[in-house]
């Protein structure tokens, strides 16, 4: 078992609802999410990076480190992320703060947040900030383990979002589905 796995487990035991999973995402899921990034469309932000399982696959997709920023609210995960991803900007901040940094400039946002575990007003705050920061038409890429789209219907309606169900990753524990959200 890796150091990341044990750090993840410790933080999950400390804050089960904040972390929202018992293990980091698998490589196949990270790769599938990263495959939806258009590297020529502008900077990319990952929210809820954890120990960097998805970040690693975003980097493997040949993004320049200075084009990638991470928002992770857990300080211990941030320390690990800074050590692992040289040149990537790590914000020990909530995803909700993203729109203080960009407005209509991002090419994609990749989310590892457990959004459906969060109250609807919090989902709304996060999605509002994400879609304020994204360029028109650019995607928010989000995975879920469940059968429903991973953003509450009320939030989608209020913000005018549409979604596409992309791939199902059977080789993840548990199997996960990738969704793309865009402003309609
Ligand atoms: C399910 S884990 C995913 C970690 C990693 N992306 C992966 O797939 O293995 C969710 C992460 O989101 C972080 N998180 C939860 N709420 C957040 C928020 N509002 N802003 C930023 N990070 C948050 C947690 O600390 C945790 O690291």
pLDDT by residue (tens digit) across 146-184? Answer: 999 999 999 999 999 999 999 999 989 899 999 999 998
User: Distance (Å, rounded) from C-alpha 178 to C-alpha 166?
Assistant: 5
User: Distance (Å, rounded) from C-alpha 151 to C-alpha 33?
Assistant: 16
Q: Which regions in the chain score pLDDT beneath 50?
A: none
Q: What integer pLDDT is reported at residue 163 of this predicted model?
A: 98
Q: What integer pLDDT is reported at residue 11 of this predicted model?
A: 81
Please say whether the beta carbons of 17 and 38 come within 8 A. Answer: no
The atom of ligand 1 lying closest to the CA of 53 is: 9
Q: What integer pLDDT is reported at residue 1 of this predicted model?
A: 61
The response to whether residue 28 sits with its C-beta less than 6 Å from ligand 1 reads no
Question: What domains can be seen in the chain, in order of their start residue?
Answer: 3-183 (3.40.50.150)
The response to whether residue 92 sits with its C-beta less than 6 Å from ligand 1 reads no
- Per-residue burial over 61-77, b = 16 or more CB atoms within 10 Å of its CB, e = otherwise: eebeeebbbbbbbbeeb
Nearest-CA residue for ligand 1 atom 18 is 94
């Amino acid at each position: 078992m890796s150091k990341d796995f044990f750090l993840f487990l410790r933080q999950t035991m400390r804050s089960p609802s904040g972390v929202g999973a018992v293990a980091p995402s698998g490589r196949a899921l990270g790769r599938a999410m990263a495959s939806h990034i258009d590297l020529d469309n502008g900077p990319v932000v990952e929210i809820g990076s954890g120990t960097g399982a998805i970040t690693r696959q975003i980097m493997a997709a040949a993004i320049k480190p200075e084009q990638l920023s991470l928002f992770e609210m857990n300080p211990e995960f941030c320390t690990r992320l800074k050590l692992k991803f040289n040149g990537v900007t790590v914000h020990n901040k909530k995803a909700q703060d993203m729109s203080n940094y960009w407005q209509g400039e991002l090419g994609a946002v990749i989310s590892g947040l457990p959004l459906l575990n969060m109250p609807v007003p919090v989902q709304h705050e996060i999605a509002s900030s994400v879609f304020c920061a994204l360029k028109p038409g650019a995607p928010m890429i989000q995975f879920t383990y469940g059968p429903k789209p991973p953003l509450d219907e009320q939030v989608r309606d209020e913000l005018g979002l549409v979604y596409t169900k992309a791939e199902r990753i059977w080789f993840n524990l548990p199997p996960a589905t990738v969704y793309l959200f865009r402003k309609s």
